[in-house]
Amino acid sequence: MFSLLSLKKKLHQVLCLLSSLINPKNRTLSSSSSVSPSAFDSQKSESVKMLEKLDEFDMEKSIEDFEAMTKDAERVQRKTLKKILEENGSAEYLQGLGLNGRTDPESFKACVPLVTHKDLDPYIQRIAEGDSSPILTGKPVPSFSVSSGTTQGRPKFLPFTDELMETTMQIFQTSFAFRNREYPIANGKALQIIYGSKQFKTQGGLPVGTATTNVYLNHKFKTTMKTMQSQCCSPDGVIFGPDFQQSLYCHLLCGIIFRDEVQMISSAFAHSIVLAFRTFELVWEELCADIRDGVLSDRITEPSIRSAVSKLLSPNPKLADLIHGKCSGLSNWYGLIPALFPNVKYIYGIMTGSMEHYLKKLRHYAGELPLLSADYGSSEGWVGANVNPKLPPELATFAVIPNVGYYEFIPLRNNSGEQPVGLTEVTVGEEYEVVLTSVAGLYRYRLGDIVKVVGFYNSTPELKFVCRSNLLLSINIDKNTEKDLQLSVEEAAKPLAAEKLEVVDFSSHVDLSTDPGHYVIFWELNGEPNHQVLSECCNCLDKAFVDVGYMSSRKVNTIGPLEIRILRKGTFQKILIHYLAQGAAASQFKTPRCVGLNNKKVLQILCGNVVRSFFSTAYD
Ligand code: AMP
């Protein structure tokens, strides 16, 4: 446990360490890094500043606050709702609902309807067009987040306010405080594989970026990262570079330059980390060459990225040889991360939900290093923090922080159509859809996520993320969610493991152009299995959908044989790049797990890259 005293002691140790680092006669810590003298100096002053800031974040207090709030979750929820409604009482949206100044949950539920983004869109549009009167919030909305759009097929605008930024930092700090108790990290850096998206302005002149971009751009992000000893290795030129692939390459390069200092590897969603190290497998020799010569590869053509990274590079043949030797000594890249970064304590990012598929590969790269799953939130607002960092990602839970928003839960039991219940009224073992009232002008907003209550932390529920609420695959009476698809793919991929092959990524489509309609599952693989193995996988996949509606429909052929379509290597990268071109951020990218006819371009990419296809004979 961290007491303030032990924190101070640690500070002292860090100070001693720093003074040895600053002493030019003793630069042992960065002996293998190719840091240029000017970079070294700026690092030095950054480190000193970091120490000053460290004093400002009291981890013990953060835990104490969390304990106090969660012990009194119901009262804190009432207070939070009151605050939200008072601050936004003048908003036209609320004014029209007859609350007449009442701020209690009962009146709130009686007057304010449950909504989706579609219901609020006309209000959001007016704000975007430049109407600065109080529409959804009391204070004018300063900027917007644009959601990744991978779930709906089209991006959504959402208000991004200072209050939302505050809650973001609060949740980051809370989970860090719990994480650091179990896995303390010393003064160092983080290889944060993060990317800013393209930014633009609305018709009314308000800035728009993805939620992560809005966070990374905010000065509070950098300060908070410093206090959490998680300062990013890469300069802003890399994070906000205009070309995602060039940024990715430079993140890897910066990570290696600061390899001795890197304490953790992180990203918003685990997909980015896996993609980064998959790319490393392809470019490692080029990275070594850059380090050896101190000259950035020609592949980096963007001036902003080149100039930011060139400042950090100077010839370092010793480091290049070291990395070359480490990589050559690995078997099938197992344990790549600890080999590259000897002082990394853990890997951190969202690894639940649609990210679970990437865990296998991540574990392979991580070797023995722990994988810590990050918090649960969305562009709309935050829901819960992972305060049990020792749980493996498959079991990760999120404790709802009762002062971050006002939360309700729609019970899903038997599709009962029951009214939402309050935060402290949920039942362990039940599944719910999350409804959020946020500090940023969303009232009783259906997030579209399904969670399961797995326990309570004091009096606040601990949630497990289940899946998005919209059904992915349904032809008649069958119902298969994102989670069902993921589990089925996992099961069906087992025959591949014997061949040392894996599913790099996957998606699906309901094909109604055949009669009867059938499920199409797209797989990108890292190699080429023989026909027999793929036929086996296909039958296995068909049988792995154990939903009663699906099985009975298959038996009587009202759903046709499942089809696996094998994609050309790199197809999912093409999909990522397609989304980026539309303004999405690589940091928030989630592979669309089901592609409908309305998502023409992505369906075209998938269908245009099929190299082989197989139909199941499992029900013949
Ligand atoms: P976006 O606003 O585009 O970043 O997407 C937010 C969505 O990502 C949420 O509504 C969830 O569906 C998903 N998500 C966010 N955090 C997690 C998490 N910790 N585990 C699983 N899914 C998550």
DSSP codes joined into one string, 455-514: EEETTEEEEEEEEESS-SB-SSS--B-HHHHHHHHHHHTHHHHTTT--EEEEEEEEE-SS
Q: What is the pLDDT of residue 582?
A: 82
Which tens digits make up the pLDDT trace of 227-265? 887 889 999 999 999 999 999 999 999 999 999 999 999
Whether the predicted pLDDT of 129 surpasses 50: yes
Q: Is residue 178 in contact with ligand 1, taking CB distance under 6 Å?
A: no
pLDDT score of 592 more than 60: yes
Confidence class of residue 149 from pLDDT cuts 50, 70 and 90? low
Confidence at residue 57, expressed as pLDDT on a 0 to 100 scale = 79
Q: What is the model's pLDDT at position 56?
A: 67
Domains: count for the chain: 3
Q: Are 206 and 227 in contact (CB under 8 A)?
A: no
Boundary-marking domain end, from 369, 385, 416 = 369
Burial of 219 (0-12, 13-18, 19+ CB in 10 A): exposed
Q: In a 3-state reduction of DSSP, which class is residue 566?
A: strand
| Alpha carbons 45 and 66: distance in angstroms, whole number | 33
- What is the model's pLDDT at position 236? 95
What pLDDT does 414 receive? Answer: 67
- 157 C-beta closer than 6 A to ligand 1: no
Do 257 and 143 belong together in one domain?
no
Q: Whose CA is nearest to atom 8 of ligand 1?
A: 378
Q: Is the CB of 268 under 6 A from ligand 1?
A: no
Distance CA 565, CA 567 (A): 6
Identify the CA nearest to 293 among candidates 273, 321, 329. Answer: 321
On whether residue 16 sits in a domain, the answer given is no
Q: Is the CB of 386 under 6 A from ligand 1?
A: no
Residue 251 near residue 307, CB atoms below 8 Å: no
- Measure 436 CA to ligand 1 centroid, in angstroms: 14
Quick one: 439 and 544 in the same domain? no
Number of H helices, E strands in the chain: 23, 21
Note whether residue 219 is domain-resident.
yes
Distances (CA, A) of 611 to 184, 287, 571: 48, 32, 11
Q: Is residue 41 predicted with pLDDT exceeding 90?
A: no
> Is residue 480 a contact partner of residue 198, using CB atoms and an 8 Å limit?
no
Looking at the fold, whether 202 and 270 belong to one and the same domain comes out as yes
Residues 155 and 192 in one domain: no
Instruction: Report how far residue 496's alpha carbon sits from residue 506's, in angstroms, rounded to the nearest whole number.
Output: 14
One domain, residues 553 and 511: yes
Q: CA 554 to CA 545: how far, in whole Å?
A: 10
pLDDT at 553 over 50: yes
* Lowest mean pLDDT segment, chosen from 31-45, 94-108, 200-214: 31-45
Residues 6 or more apart whose Cβ sits within 8 Å of residue 11: 51, 54, 55
Ligand 1 center to 411 CA (angstroms): 20
Residue 554: pLDDT over 70: yes
More confident site: 468 or 565: 565
Q: Are residues 215 and 326 in the same domain?
A: yes
For 132-141, 183-192, 302-311, 539-548, which range has the lowest pLDDT when averaged over its residues?
A: 183-192
Going from the Cα of 376 to the center of ligand 1, the distance in angstroms, rounded, reads 6
How many Cβ atoms are within 10 Å of 20's Cβ, its own excluded? 13
Asked if residue 54 has its Cβ within 6 Å of ligand 1, the reply is no
What is the pLDDT at residue 170? 95
For 605, the token pair is 């990419």
Cβ–ligand 1 contact at 168 (below 6 Å): no
pLDDT at 8 (0 to 100): 42
Mean pLDDT throughout 307-319?
97
Q: Which residue lies with its CA nearest to atom 9 of ligand 1?
A: 378
pTM, rounded to two decimals: 0.86
SS3 568: coil
Helix (H, G, I), strand (E, B) or coil at 145: strand
590 and 492 within one domain: yes
Residue 318 binned pLDDT confidence (cut-offs 50, 70, 90): very high
Q: Give percent of the chain with pLDDT exceeding 70.
A: 89
The model's pLDDT over 324-348, given as tens digits with 9 standing for 90+, comes to 999 999 999 999 999 999 999 999 9
Residue 24: partners with Cβ closer than 8 Å, 6 or more residues away: none
CA distance 444 to 435: 6
Is the pLDDT at 267 greater than 80? The verdict is: yes
356 domain residue, yes or no: yes
Structural domain ending residue among the three candidates 369, 390, 407 = 369
Residue 179 falls within a domain, yes or no?
no
Residues 199 and 291 in one domain: yes
Ligand 1 atom closest to the Cα of residue 468 is: 12
Range name among 61-75, 242-256, 472-486 with the lowest pLDDT average: 472-486
In a domain, 453, yes or no: yes
123 and 152 share a domain? yes
- Tell me if 465 CB under 6 Å of ligand 1: yes
pLDDT band at residue 154 using 50, 70 and 90 as cut-offs: low
**CB-based contact 499:489 (threshold 8 Å):** no
In single-letter form, the type of residue at position 88 comes to N
Note whether residue 107 is domain-resident.
yes
How far is the CA of 600 from the CAs of 159, 497, 606, in angstroms?
28, 33, 10
* Residues 106 and 222 reside in one and the same domain: no
Tell me what the mean pLDDT of segment 29-44 comes to: 36
Range of the domain at 536: 482-615
At 420-438, the pLDDT tens digits run 999 999 999 999 999 999 9
| Structural domain includes residue 167 | no
Q: Kindly tell me if the per-residue pLDDT of 468 is higher than 70.
A: yes
Please check whether residue 250 is in contact with residue 194, taking contact to mean a CB–CB distance below 8 angstroms: no
Return the pLDDT at 222. Answer: 87
Residue with CA at minimum distance from ligand 1 atom 5: 378
The closest of 39, 3, 8, 7 to 189, measured between CA atoms, is 39
What are the DSSP calls for 437-450, one per residue? E-TTS--SEEEEEE
Domain check: are 289 and 436 in the same one? Answer: no
485-498 b/e (C-beta count within 10 Å ≥ 16 → b)? bbbbbbbbbebbee
Asked whether residue 286 falls in the same domain as residue 431, the answer is no
pLDDT of residue 258: 97
Q: Residue 53 above 80 pLDDT? A: no
Contacts of 74 (CB under 8 A, 6+ apart): 422, 423, 424, 459
pLDDT value for 33: 33
| 435 touches 446 (CB < 8 A) | yes
User: Cα of 448 to ligand 1 centre, how many Å?
Assistant: 10
The residue nearest atom 19 of ligand 1, judged by CA position, is 376
